Structure 1
Amino acid sequence: MESFAMLANDPVTQARIDLTTALRAAARHGLNEGVCNHFSMTVPDREDLFLVNPQGLHWSEITPSDLVMADGAGNVIEGKHPVEPTAFFIHARLHDGNPRAKVVLHTHMPYATALTSIRDGRIEMCTQNAFRYWNRIAYDEAYAGVALSNEEGDRMCRALGDKDILFLRNHGVIVCGPTVAQTYDDLYYLERTALVQVLAMQTGRPLHTIDDRLAEHTAGQIAGEAQQAFLHFESLKRMLDRDEPGWRRLAA
């Protein structure tokens, strides 16, 4: 039998480990909701396929071998579990329609979703965490029900445009990126940003926002420290190794 270290050097295996890390970390951070929502990434060297969490499993119990490999038509190419239909209609269409979206994370995480539920809810440029998202968020104002058609996924893809993050009015958020580490870091700090903003709004006092020029400058400074996302992600793996033995399981 091949050793775990040998298997982990395989790009697809590493992709499975990374996506599992994000799912389990999201459960630890309170970003999940029941067994709903989806994380996906394109399969290395196979842009026509993507990995996605299966239907019915809590994110805290998923292992790399539980992830399903699927194509854009909804066919399971590899895996023993079904996939929830909206995962195909949202994720497949985003991967297909936006080459930049190698990783697509969709959640109903509470504080960011709270902002989608209030009139004109936005991430405001009022905290340092918020500045990293300057000019990176699109807002989809047209809630159209549960995403159960390719047309709805395509509409979301158009609404995302050239941004990295999409706020879905009355629904939740989608965060896209080039790697799982960078995309999860954006997801994590997006919720932290929303949390502090909601707390500040509850005081009833006006938010103290900064101008676009300073926000852009600070966003550039934060982008220049991109290694922090990878360091954060590796620390999450170490915590899983410490607290959840067996999480890296590669076979049933």
Structure 2
Amino acid sequence: MAHALNRDTAPDSSTAVAPNRPDFDSEAVWNAREDLAACFRFAHRLGMHEGICNHFSAVLPGYDDVFLVNPYGYAFSELTAAHLLICDFHGNVLSGKGTPEATAFFIHARLHMKVPRARVAFHTHMPHATALCMVEGEPLVFAGQTALKFYDRTTVDRDYNGLALDSREGDRIAASVGDADIVFMKHHGVMVLGNSIAEAWDDLYYLERACEVQCIAMSTGRPIVPVAPEIASVTAKQMREGDRESARLHLDSMRRILDREEPAYRSRG
């Protein structure tokens, strides 16, 4: 299902790297690498991966035009901080060995370029959220407290066109985002956009939990009762007030677990 990036189809793939750029080994960059590697490892632990097909990206700290992304051919459980590639928006790999998966490049490069607020983009086919992309009606019903975290923050990309193997499809997906942080991609999966790696992880985790509970509720055959819109709105605002701090603490807790159990995620070699 995954495809290696064909540099001949990448936009401006011959574009030269701008000279005199600072190196990519700053403490901030390595912290971002370790945070992102931790997200890959935990996504694997929680069954939120699919072979070598899904991808997470983050615009590099201090930059607006280059991003970290996982290389083609690795399972989430294998990835380390050192494995992650630094790419520009033209298909050039500026640091790291290998290339991004083709759809990873065409979706993530165009998202980061066209939606600058999306400093981080996590795309998965995680099972419960993806299941809700396959059924009639709106994917997420705001009936459980966890789901209310996403109230008024979601959109649905209904125009599935197959694999994103060129910049036109990446641009179309970027245009579908609007003001949303969560994109349910019909017949495909989900995209979570965030201002930081911690916030994107927190949303990805709780989105799958909300969708899992909804799938269980739907399986009972009994009607799902949504929360009244006025209560849903107030609750969502309450949740958002503490989201940034809570998200960082959530990611820190994951990293402590990995430091004990899978310290290789931080590898620099």
Structure 1 length as normaliser, TM-score?
Answer: 0.95
For 1:192 and 1:232, locate their aligned partners in 2 and report how far apart those are by CA, in whole Å: 15
For 1:8 and 1:184, locate their aligned partners in 2 and report how far apart those are by CA, in whole Å: 23
How big is the alpha-carbon RMSD for the aligned residues of Structure 1 and Structure 2?
1.3
Q: Which residue of 1 aligns with 2:263?
A: 245
Q: Any residues of structure 2 matched to 1:66-85 within 5 Å, and which?
A: 66-85=83-102
- Tell me, yes or no, if structure 1 residue 196 matches structure 2 residue 194: no
Partner of 2:252, secondary structure, is helix
Structure 2 length as normaliser, TM-score?
Answer: 0.89
Q: Which residue of 1 aligns with 2:11?
A: none
Q: Which residue of 2 aligns with 1:143?
A: 160
Q: CA deviation at 1:29?
A: 1.1
Q: How many residues end up aligned between the 2 structures? A: 245
Structure 2 counterpart of 1:65, from 78, 82, 93:
82
Partner of 1:125, secondary structure, is coil
Partner of 2:173, secondary structure, is helix
Match of 1:244, as an amino acid? E
Q: Which residue of 2 aligns with 1:4?
A: none
Q: Which residue of 2 aligns with 1:234?
A: 252
Q: Which residue of 1 aligns with 2:10?
A: none
Partner of 1:139, secondary structure, is strand
Structure 2 counterpart of 1:209, from 215, 220, 226:
226
Q: Any residues of structure 2 matched to 1:97-136 within 5 Å, and which?
A: 97-136=114-153
For 1:49 and 1:140, locate their aligned partners in 2 and report how far apart those are by CA, in whole Å: 25
Match of 2:149, as an amino acid? R
Q: CA deviation at 1:117?
A: 0.6
Q: Which residue of 1 aligns with 2:36?
A: 19
Q: Which residue of 2 aligns with 1:180?
A: 197
Identical positions, percent: 46
Q: CA deviation at 1:129?
A: 0.4
Q: Which residue of 2 aligns with 1:86?
A: 103
For 1:9 and 1:74, locate their aligned partners in 2 and report how far apart those are by CA, in whole Å: 23
Assess if the C-alpha contact under 8 Å between 1:116 and 1:172 holds in 2. yes
Measured against aligned partners, the alpha-carbon deviations of 1:87-118 in whole angstroms (never above 9, x if no partner) come to 11100000000111000000000000000011
Q: Unpaired segments of 5 or more residues in structure 2?
A: 1-23
- Tell me, yes or no, if structure 1 residue 56 matches structure 2 residue 73: yes
